[in-house]
Structure 1
Amino acid sequence: MRVDQEIKRGTFFVFISKYSNILIGLVINSILARFLSPNEYGIVGVVTVFITFFSILGDIGVGTAIVQNRNLTGKDISDIFKINILLSTCLGLAFFLLSYGIAWFYESDIYIRIGQLLAISVFFSSMSGVPRSLLMRDKSFKLLGAIEITSNITTGLLVVFLAMKGNSYYSIVWRSILSSMMTFTLCLYFSRLRLVQGFGFGGFRKIARYSGFQFAFNFINYFSRNLDNILIGKFMGNQNLGIYSQSYQLMMYPVANLTHVITPVLHPVLARFVDQPKIIFEEYLKVVNILAMLGIPISVFVFFSSSEIVYLVLGSKWMAVAPVLQIFGASIWLQMVNSSGGAIFQSMGRTDKLFKMGILSTFTTVSATLLGILYFQSLTYTALCISLAIVLNFTIVYYVLISRILNSSFTRFLKVIAKHMKMAAALIVLLYLVQVFVNFKQDNANLIYVFVIKAAVLGITFLAFHYEMVMGMVQKVFTNVSARIRS
């Protein structure tokens, strides 16, 4: 099977999974936002930051190393998983004890009970790393998608039921616990991972260097991604943290669920071309073209439609999220492209360079975060500072990746993105005119009306610029359906 066909096939299954999860997530989040307050979201958001950190500690870079290294034996995998079991146990106990420290730092005993319950989630989340990576290495994207959908539907129904029964933020806590348990159980079963008698460090030594740099990158990247939540919770309160986390989550929907349709496929498929950077570059340009084609119009749309999006998804009591989402929205396309770069560093076996780029990105992002929170003391200025840091990081990281790692043309890379700016300019003008002449009042009924108009403008503009591509895809679908009917 050709490389592009492998990527397309894997992307199709990830696409189905991700977009099913988008729909499920939006429905669940919309329901929860009507039962829980920004303060309740902020309380759980504080502990979630630390869970993310422990997830990094639990993986220690082993997941991507298993995907990259094709020479690991069954005994090697068994030994690595045994190390993972010991590490997961230690991390679960450590998080249990950390709950007292979190309560002390945020001056509230409420975090003790929450943290101790979520220690269960930390344990199972860490345990799922090895079996999940085995499924990724085998390119079992369809199966992984089914696992994610099953977990999200089951836990989504649970969290809605608990929220309706008045369980407040504990409904989110129990969703996290059940989700991690289900994911681990299903991944372990389908990966057919078997424990072999005996124990040794031979398997871990084979991946130590690769996984070490990957872990180091994940470690520092955690602080650049989560310091904002930690500091906002400490210095600006749970109310502001709830508003900020919801704006960030809404912004990340297209980033995570469009980018991650493609990027999970890249590393498993391109890893075998580690000695052929030109092939990786050519295939990656196709990916960048798709991400820019989708991400740029979405960025413009979110910037001009933040109020409508917040009202429709979260409800009227969350309208303070809109100004922050508007600023983050402008950087969506950059983050979509940027989040795919790690898979290329990994495919080239250059997690060492990925780590160095992570140090640089962490420095700029943390500096921007501190400036926004401690100096400006404003959520909107914090979002603006972080967005400017994203632009700087994107420029530097991709120059290094394209010019130094892949030994290819950085100018050609930029041209792939630049060709979509004409559509962006047209969309900016059209949505601005809608904003001026249609959005004359901010009542609830008008927000829905304006959103429909803006969404129609987005769709028509996209179709106008990509008519041949869209019609080609439609024709291909009809041809396939007709062929199946005739057969």
Structure 2
Amino acid sequence: MRIESLDRISMSDFFPSLVRFPIHSSALRILVARNRTRTAGRQLPGSLPMPSKFARQAAGAAWWSAVEIAARYGVQFLVTLVLARLLLPSDFGLAALLVIFTSLGAVLVDSGFGTALIQRQHTSADDETTVFVFSILAAAMLCGLLAFAAPFIAGFFRAPALSPLLRLASLTLVLSAAGAVPDALLTMRMNFRARTQAQLVASLVSGTVAVTLALNGAGVWSLVWQLVTAAAIRSLCLWVCSRWRPAGRFNRASLTGLAKFGSFMLLSSLLNSIYVQLQPLLIGRLFDTRSLGFFTLAQNSQQAPMSLVGGVLTRVGLPVFSALAHAPSRMLDALRPILRLSMFVFVPCMVGIAITAEPLVTLVYGPRWLPAAPILSILALAGTLWPVHVLNLEAIKAQGRSDLFFRLALVKVSLAIVLVVLGSPWGAIGVAWATLVASVLNAAINTYYSWKLLGFGPRAQMREQAPTFALAITAALVGWAVLHWMPATSISMVLSIACASVVYLGLAWAFRVQALTDLHSFIHTLRADATLKPDIGNDLT
């Protein structure tokens, strides 16, 4: 996709599978506030626009991205629910140890080139083929390295069963690398319908394989085969949906050009991955795989809504913000309503998980997983600021400032690692509290460059989110009171959520909170988008 001028962007540039006619509008008009609100009768900065056809397609892109991630984690949730009753906590702990090394390997294989392709906005056949060849070769080398090092890694964790599991799991690096370029191209073109189809098929097939193997006594092997199957099916589906084929040549100039942006993204992603994987590494090394299993279950439960919101904001935010990189004031006008709306939806969800963690874990996973409940409560509170993290970082990336992105990652990860190491002697609970403290401090750090580049710093951002936090705290107190005066059962959990939701939305309506108006406008836009009949047969043409 080539974007030469924001004033000549057409619908087909961003949404090739949905439309075939041009709209003379800037990408900014997808999201920014250049409209008159019904309440004030005048233009307000940072409010969502009235739904034009272009805005409906933008909302459709966000919708399909949300569907894709929701499908993935919805299927994964159902699979985990079944596997949690068939497998032991130690099995999940072993699987978490595998993910430490496959996640780090995936970051090295990508090397920031996927993000570089998206940020560049216009790519040549040589660019795409170069990234593809590099990814495959890097994945093959790392796969061999992990296979060789598997016995030594198993010895480090005092878990002999880890060695053959790691050798099988390392295949996911090569399988995922095969789909890296089609995935990046679909994201760049905001064709999330195709990505949704690929992810849904992969999740269903891999989940079925895992449950079938677990029912037949395969134990932890069922979790590993789920990873391998998901990577293979997803890459295959991405190739089919994108119709992309390596048509260019490996070009050193392309590699060098992409690496100027991608190298900083690689370092940033690597630092972040090291921090994330340090948590299970310390728990697995200092304690046992059973304790790690409880932490992993709590972390996966926390990350399901975080991945949904973060995935949507990243996939839609980076292409749109990249198109607005030359106009900081317009990017700010796009950033403010998205942040306000995402926080309004996300904060009460995470607070709700925190206060209902005990009955939630008991109901969903069974009584033997109850030690994961307090960990889940703390991690859920740590995740409330996730949209702040994601959107501020996407705004920095969109301006091509991967160097600033790396500086932020270096400071944040260094701080977080110190906190996690300090908290690790207290086990999984200590690591969870360290994560909470790190999340609050990192939010302030992430917004620093937004203040420098856009004039929208931590004070201004938190001031805009103050109504959401006030409503969430009030609703949480109501929900907690219901749970406190009733036995911890599924009925009390549902009643608590219902009462808190009524209080949250009721107060938002009574006080005319702007975020509620934004939500209403967004839903109205989605309804308008539903009246369009997309051309599914031409996803990338």
Kept in 2, the 8 Å contact 1:53–1:219? The answer is yes
- Write out per-residue CA displacement over residues 225-283 of structure 1, whole angstroms, 9 at most, x where no aligned residue: 11011010011110110011111111111111123223211111221211111111111
Give the match for residue 86 of structure 2: 35
1:11-26 equivalent positions in 2, closer than 5 A: 11-26=62-77
Give the match for residue 425 of structure 1: 473
Aligned-pair CA distance for 1:323: 0.9
1:44-63 equivalent positions in 2, closer than 5 A: 44-63=95-114
- Number of aligned residues: 475
Change (3 A) 1:303 1:166: same
Aligned-pair CA distance for 1:425: 2.9
Q: 1:122 aligns with which of 173, 185, 201?
A: 173
Change (3 A) 1:268 1:151: same
Give the match for residue 14 of structure 2: none
Are 1:414 and 2:465 counterparts?
no
Q: 1:304 aligns with which of 347, 355, 359?
A: 355
- Write out per-residue CA displacement over residues 389-416 of structure 1, whole angstroms, 9 at most, x where no aligned residue: 111111122122x211224454432222
1:311-326 equivalent positions in 2, closer than 5 A: 311-326=362-377
Kept in 1, the 8 Å contact 2:114–2:180? The answer is yes
Aligned-pair CA distance for 1:466: 4.1
- Write out per-residue CA displacement over residues 45-65 of structure 1, whole angstroms, 9 at most, x where no aligned residue: 111111000000100000010
Kept in 2, the 8 Å contact 1:259–1:291? The answer is no
Counterparts of 2:140 and 2:520 in 1: how far apart (Å)? 53
Counterparts of 1:245 and 1:478 in 2: how far apart (Å)? 38
TM-score by length of 2: 0.83
Counterparts of 1:147 and 1:431 in 2: how far apart (Å)? 38
Give the match for residue 412 of structure 2: 361
Aligned-pair CA distance for 1:8: 1.8
Give the match for residue 450 of structure 1: 492
Secondary structure of the 1:34 match is: helix
1:167-316 equivalent positions in 2, closer than 5 A: 167-196=218-247, 198-316=249-367
Identity of aligned residues (%): 19
Give the match for residue 384 of structure 1: 433
Kept in 2, the 8 Å contact 1:303–1:329? The answer is yes
Structure 1 stretches of 5 or more lacking a match? none
Aligned-pair CA distance for 1:207: 1.1
Kept in 1, the 8 Å contact 2:471–2:508? The answer is no
Aligned-pair CA distance for 1:359: 0.7
TM-score by length of 1: 0.92
Select the structure that is richer in helix.
1
Kept in 2, the 8 Å contact 1:278–1:408? The answer is no
Kept in 2, the 8 Å contact 1:72–1:203? The answer is no
Counterparts of 1:12 and 1:29 in 2: how far apart (Å)? 25
Deviates more, 1:404-413 or 1:329-338: 404-413
Change (3 A) 1:482 1:206: closer
Kept in 1, the 8 Å contact 2:383–2:439? The answer is no
Structure 2 stretches of 5 or more lacking a match? 1-10, 12-28, 32-54, 510-515, 534-541
Secondary structure of the 1:109 match is: coil
What amino acid is aligned across from residue 419 of structure 2 in structure 1? A
What amino acid is aligned across from residue 419 of structure 1 in structure 2? P
Aligned-pair CA distance for 1:483: 11
Give the match for residue 3 of structure 1: 30
Counterparts of 2:422 and 2:220 in 1: how far apart (Å)? 30
Deviates more, 1:105-114 or 1:209-218: 105-114
Give the match for residue 142 of structure 1: 193
Give the match for residue 447 of structure 2: 398
Q: 1:83 aligns with which of 130, 134, 140?
A: 134
Counterparts of 1:137 and 1:483 in 2: how far apart (Å)? 22
Change (3 A) 1:422 1:107: closer
Aligned-pair CA distance for 1:477: 7.6
What amino acid is aligned across from residue 298 of structure 2 in structure 1? S
Aligned-pair CA distance for 1:94: 1.5
Change (3 A) 1:482 1:371: closer
Kept in 2, the 8 Å contact 1:75–1:196? The answer is yes
- Write out per-residue CA displacement over residues 144-173 of structure 1, whole angstroms, 9 at most, x where no aligned residue: 011111110111111111111111010011
Counterparts of 2:193 and 2:527 in 1: how far apart (Å)? 23
Are 1:349 and 2:376 counterparts?
no
Aligned-pair CA distance for 1:126: 2.5
Kept in 2, the 8 Å contact 1:277–1:407? The answer is no
Counterparts of 2:262 and 2:394 in 1: how far apart (Å)? 14
Deviates more, 1:233-242 or 1:116-125: 116-125
Secondary structure of the 1:139 match is: coil
Secondary structure of the 2:170 match is: helix
